[in-house]
Chains A and B, each alone.
Chain A
């Protein structure tokens, strides 16, 4: 037999084997994909149900009931809020430390500024 025929035959066998494994690999992957698709669908369904349950459990009527029974919280009143601009700085702007600066010795420091919160309107 000629050498070339042998090589050709070998190639044909190799191609056949290659094709066979490839086909199997693809069908395996397809199975996997189908499973994943099913899993995502189930998970989506579950998430959907959980979302509904979450909304149901978070309905204000229930939260109010739970809050009044289990927490020591009350609805906020207007005089409990303050504008961010009205909150005083702990230190006056000229004494604020920047990174890299060393803290002056204790003797040189002014007494700490008194913290006074503005009266809320």
Chain B
């Protein structure tokens, strides 16, 4: 029965509800409802905040400039003026799917017609392989890619690969270096800075000036051909911070087209090679002597007789057979005089001095160790060594070392380690000699160019100073008088040197122009003079009036020709 059911609706209807029960239900409903509304409101408010009100992130997203979505896998290398020296370019590598090639012989013929460096038989064999991927040729030019596409063969396809490209080619080859097919640096900067170049996108700036580099390259090439020489090298260095402005070595190589049989070209004479420099070392001998304070510019030595030391005979190339003052020892490039100076100073001090000039250790240039030659120094360093080293024999250093060392003795006495990286801030150097000694060396080197063996280096109006060096090459364990290594190291302008220029020509053969001579004064000095005349305007060096009293005064030097008897007071 219905009526008996304890909770039937009928029953509830019949019995009046307990007062308050409806109220309770309503309150419960209200509470539940308001909770729901509150939750919805919360969502609404949050939605408004997120979508309508500006947030810092949203504001940033709107103004952000999207430019970083293009990345190269290897950073560019630039010269000091921002000229591109190395960059990555997309190239197209041709591969074939032999399964899709209908007629391998005809296809191979067509391919070889476009890529003549491939051999037809090889290509036919490749196209007959039972694979579905085979490289035909990597790194095609856009024209070649277009021609292959024009064949319309569905079995031929391309893959994009990045390739290193060097716009300046062989002119910067030794410095910038090159990479292998997978873009890993193998030499030069590419090798030394491989990690930095691959990790970051920011270009690397070299201290090299491409224009100067080009002029040095051309001048060396002309000399190399004119004197039928084996090799040549040249360096331009900023005298006041050690930055290398130019560094060329011939023979060379083109990093864009490497060939495995050009081993000679890869060798960098400027840093890898170490050579007996000859008379240019006399600069250091005299700088050391004058800075010691024990020998003054008024002093001199008897150079009338050759010196015999054991089995060595130290002679002068053009003997004066008389007493020579310090300026004359440099001017006439007296080996006897230099050797006697070194004896007076002593071999220990000589060793220390050359060490401070960075001539006894591998230089700290930004190149791989394999590309930096270690100097060859005598061990033990005895008196006899001191005597030959005084005029640049019995010690072999690299051109970059001697250039940096000369910069130190003429720039006021501060040695800067050479660098290939562009630095805008001032670099720290080390004082080697006093400013006063440096000033004397400047006058002496100017004298060598205005009066002595370096005359041909005088680029008019740029007040060049420097020293020639002619070293006999060692052949069959003996010095060979016919095989020379002619060099010149100079600086300009000599009243306030800005740049040091070094050039060396290996085994030049004298010709009519040089009156048969192959010495530093006839081969390297005119080369340096020519380079300076061309680069000085580019580097912003102002012409100098040789006749102005100020310049004459800056370059004046007293020369004695006899002991304690002043002969003349030469300006320059």
| B165 partner residues in chain A, CB cutoff 8 A | 52, 56
Interface residues of A in 2-60 (CB under 8 A from B): 36-37, 40-41, 44-45, 48-49, 51-52, 54-56, 58-60
CB of B144 within 8 Å of the partner chain = no
With A59-B167, A60-B210, A76-B537 known as contacts, the answer to whether A49 contacts B66 (CB < 8 A) is: no
Closest to B541 in A: A78
CB of B545 within 8 Å of the partner chain = yes
CB of A81 within 8 Å of the partner chain = yes
CB of B462 within 8 Å of the partner chain = yes
What mask results when residues 196 to 221 of chain B are scored 1 for a CB within 8 Å of chain A, else 0?
00000000000000110111001000
Q: How large is the interface on A (under 10, 10 to 19, 20 to 34, 35 or more residues)?
A: 20 to 34
CB of A79 within 8 Å of the partner chain = yes
| A52 partner residues in chain B, CB cutoff 8 A | 84, 87, 89, 165, 167
Most B Cβ at <10 Å: residue of A49, A59, A81, A120: A59
Interface residues of B in 503-540 (CB under 8 A from A): 533-534, 536-537
Q: How far is the CB of B498 from chain A (nearest CB, A)?
A: 15
With A37-B66, A37-B69, A52-B84 known as contacts, the answer to whether A121 contacts B544 (CB < 8 A) is: yes
In the complex, the answer to whether B70 meets A44 with C-beta atoms within 8 Å is yes
| A51 partner residues in chain B, CB cutoff 8 A | 84, 87
Most A Cβ at <10 Å: residue of B69, B70, B72, B218: B70
Query: Which of B83, B536, B544 is in CB contact (< 8 Å) with A58?
Result: B83
Q: How many A-B residue pairs have CB under 8 A?
A: 84
| A64 partner residues in chain B, CB cutoff 8 A | 214, 218
Kindly state the separation between the CA atoms of A49 and B90 in the bound complex, as whole angstroms: 8
Interface residues of A in 100-121 (CB under 8 A from B): 120-121
CB of B311 within 8 Å of the partner chain = no
Closest to B51 in A: A22
CB of A92 within 8 Å of the partner chain = no
Q: How far is the CB of B552 from chain A (nearest CB, A)?
A: 12
| A93 partner residues in chain B, CB cutoff 8 A | none
| A60 partner residues in chain B, CB cutoff 8 A | 168, 171, 210-211, 213-215
With A51-B84, A121-B545 known as contacts, the answer to whether A59 contacts B533 (CB < 8 A) is: no
| A37 partner residues in chain B, CB cutoff 8 A | 66, 69
In the complex, the answer to whether A48 meets B542 with C-beta atoms within 8 Å is no
In the complex, the answer to whether B546 meets A78 with C-beta atoms within 8 Å is no
With A121-B461, A121-B543 known as contacts, the answer to whether A40 contacts B169 (CB < 8 A) is: no
Q: How far is the CB of A66 from chain B (nearest CB, A)?
A: 14
Q: How far is the CB of A69 from chain B (nearest CB, A)?
A: 16
| A81 partner residues in chain B, CB cutoff 8 A | 537, 542-543
Closest to B78 in A: A55
In the complex, the answer to whether A121 meets B537 with C-beta atoms within 8 Å is no
Q: How far is the CB of B76 from chain A (nearest CB, A)?
A: 8
Kindly state the separation between the CA atoms of A120 and B542 in the bound complex, as whole angstroms: 12
Kindly state the separation between the CA atoms of A49 and B87 in the bound complex, as whole angstroms: 9
Kindly state the separation between the CA atoms of A7 and B165 in the bound complex, as whole angstroms: 70
Closest to A53 in B: B167
Q: How far is the CB of A119 from chain B (nearest CB, A)?
A: 10
With A78-B461, A121-B545 known as contacts, the answer to whether A56 contacts B167 (CB < 8 A) is: yes
Query: Which of B70, B85, B462 is in CB contact (< 8 Å) with A78?
Result: B462
Query: Which of A41, A54, A59, A78 is in CB contact (< 8 Å) with B460?
Result: A78
What mask results when residues 24 to 52 of chain B are scored 1 for a CB within 8 Å of chain A, else 0?
00000000000000000000000000000
Kindly state the separation between the CA atoms of A83 and B84 in the bound complex, as whole angstroms: 32
Q: How far is the CB of B20 from chain A (nearest CB, A)?
A: 29
In the complex, the answer to whether A41 meets B70 with C-beta atoms within 8 Å is yes
Query: Which of A40, A41, A55 is in CB contact (< 8 Å) with B84?
Result: A55
Kindly state the separation between the CA atoms of A83 and B545 in the bound complex, as whole angstroms: 11
| A45 partner residues in chain B, CB cutoff 8 A | 70, 90
Query: Which of B69, B171, B543 is in CB contact (< 8 Å) with A59?
Result: B171
Q: How far is the CB of B212 from chain A (nearest CB, A)?
A: 9
| A56 partner residues in chain B, CB cutoff 8 A | 165, 167
In the complex, the answer to whether A48 meets B87 with C-beta atoms within 8 Å is yes
In the complex, the answer to whether A59 meets B168 with C-beta atoms within 8 Å is yes
In the complex, the answer to whether A55 meets B72 with C-beta atoms within 8 Å is no
| B460 partner residues in chain A, CB cutoff 8 A | 78-79
Closest to B461 in A: A78
| A79 partner residues in chain B, CB cutoff 8 A | 460-461, 543
CB of B57 within 8 Å of the partner chain = no
Q: How far is the CB of B218 from chain A (nearest CB, A)?
A: 8
| B214 partner residues in chain A, CB cutoff 8 A | 59-61, 64
Kindly state the separation between the CA atoms of A52 and B203 in the bound complex, as whole angstroms: 14
Kindly state the separation between the CA atoms of A44 and B88 in the bound complex, as whole angstroms: 13
CB of B548 within 8 Å of the partner chain = yes
With A55-B83, A59-B167 known as contacts, the answer to whether A40 contacts B69 (CB < 8 A) is: yes
| B87 partner residues in chain A, CB cutoff 8 A | 48, 51-52, 55
Kindly state the separation between the CA atoms of A8 and B434 in the bound complex, as whole angstroms: 95
Kindly state the separation between the CA atoms of A4 and B239 in the bound complex, as whole angstroms: 90
Chain B residues with CB under 8 Å of chain A are 66-67, 69-70, 72, 83-85, 87-90, 165, 167-169, 171, 210-211, 213-215, 218, 459-462, 533-534, 536-537, 542-548
3 tightest A-B CB contacts, nearest first: A121-B545, A78-B461, A60-B214
User: 20 pairs across A/B with beta carbons < 8 Å?
Assistant: A40-B67, A40-B70, A45-B70, A52-B87, A54-B84, A55-B83, A55-B167, A59-B167, A59-B210, A60-B168, A60-B171, A60-B211, A60-B213, A61-B171, A61-B214, A79-B460, A79-B461, A81-B542, A121-B547, A121-B548
Chain A residues with CB under 8 Å of chain B are 36-37, 40-41, 44-45, 48-49, 51-52, 54-56, 58-61, 64, 75-79, 81, 83, 120-121
- Knowing that A52-B167, A60-B211, A121-B547 touch, tell me 15 more A-B residue pairs with CB under 8 angstroms: A40-B69, A45-B70, A48-B87, A54-B84, A55-B87, A55-B168, A56-B165, A58-B83, A60-B215, A61-B169, A77-B533, A78-B462, A78-B543, A81-B543, A120-B543
